[in-house]
Amino acid sequence: MNQSDIETSIDLGHGFLLHAQHAEGWWADFLLSPGRSDAWVTAYVGRVVAIADDPPARAAAGRAWQWLARRSSAGWGYNGLTPEDADTTAWAIRFAEAVGAGASERASAGRSFLASQSRPDGGLSTYGDDAAIRAFIGAPATLRFDGWCGSHPCVTAAAAAGLGGSSALCYLRTVQADDGHWPSYWWCEPEYATAMAASALGRFGERDDHGRVARAATWAARRLAPRGHAVSSVCPDGSAFATALALRTLQAGGDASFDAESATARRAVDWLLCQQQSDGSWPSSAGLRVPPPDQTEPDRHVGWQLGGKIEGGISLDQERLFTTATVVETLRAAVSAASRDDSAWNRP
């Protein structure tokens, strides 16, 4: 495996994402009771496409932003049926910045909505108020929404990784586990929250945060080292989504952290290249879970149903868009690392 192999893989993955875009500009993936997610997935995938910065990518990203900007008037929701939420809104703002629309009136309205979702502890809740989402799912008045309306490390970290924010960074410092990872609320495994939090602290943090990012990198290396890839509860034979995000955590530590685990990183990149399918995608492995609204510690919940569409269910990205976009972005960072060290991916 060498740099050209990675670049070829990126091109194939990028082509898959472009081909999957709807003519109106959106992407859609996952399947829950309200249907597939279009706004959230469009923001996430569109940002990765925009980063490619070639003419087809710019055109695709522009169509996607135009479509997304017409949705709602403040924040954005999972799709057109659901109430606005902080996670979708954060990714939409990050996408706006990637296409040069970060200062637009539409993005500014999104920022105002996102700020309203901040909790007293500095974290972001997916839903700052339970009224709209309670009515949407038809929940009884007796059901508490402490889970869905509490601070979520994964949502906070995703927003902070692109947008910074001193309160969000302070919150992330307080919720890092002793072994270095950050827990996810909406994801089956902790790689997503950990990669986003490490990126946020590595990019916007203070000197003391270097140690936190290093602990996260050590945790990620342990997740990769036994097999050369990360496994998950939904992909026990290997998860491209979790593997790419573990690599992202190594990358967040900067050159020193990444190079310190270079053998582990090279093995993981090799594994990802071998998992790519003929159409350029990677197998579905992003496990989105929906805890009950009153569940504040979803890792304690039992009886998860793979393929479930309501509370207690887990949905994989059946269209392979979320996993593929995640791997493509990670491999781009690997190419960037290789460009600083021509022998980085050729050492035994």
Residue 135: CATH number of its domain: 1.50.10.20
* 346 part of a folded domain: no
* Alpha carbons 244 and 62: distance in angstroms, whole number: 26
Instruction: Please state the rounded mean pLDDT for residues 88-115.
Output: 97
Query: What's phi and psi for 346, nearest 5 deg?
Result: -115, 0
User: What is the per-residue pLDDT for 317?
Assistant: 98
pLDDT at 340: 60
Residue 220 lies in domain: 3-340
In a domain, 127, yes or no: yes
Asked whether the predicted pLDDT for residue 247 surpasses 70, the reply is yes
- pLDDT of residue 348 exceeding 80, the answer is no
Whether 110 is covered by a domain: the verdict is yes
Sign, Cα dihedral of 231, 232, 237, 241:
negative
- Encoded tokens for 345: 């991916």
**Residue 61 included in any domain:** yes
Ramachandran angles phi, psi of 187, nearest 5°: -115, 145
Q: Which residues contact 91 (CB under 8 A, 6 or more apart)?
A: 40, 43, 44, 47, 158
pLDDT of 146 over the 80 cut:
yes
| Number of domains within the chain | 1
List pLDDT tens digits, range 219-243: 999 999 888 999 999 999 999 999 9
Mean pLDDT of 309-335: 96
For residue 282, pLDDT over 50 is answered with: yes
pTM for the whole structure: 0.95
Task: From residue 238, give the alpha-carbon distance in Å to each of 114, 285, 291.
Answer: 34, 9, 24
Q: Is residue 348 part of a domain?
A: no
The per-residue pLDDT for 309 is: 97
84 vs 90: CA distance, rounded Å: 11
255 pLDDT more than 50: no
Checking if the pLDDT of 344 tops 80, the result is no
Q: pLDDT at residue 52 above 80?
A: yes
What is the chain's mean pLDDT, rounded?
94
Residue 347 lies in a domain: no
Mean local confidence (pLDDT), 143-164: 97
Residue 345 belongs to a domain: no
Q: Count CB atoms within 10 A of the CB of residue 1.
A: 14
Is 38 in contact with 77 (CB distance < 8 Å)? no
Is it the case that residue 1 has pLDDT exceeding 90?
no
**280 found inside a domain:** yes
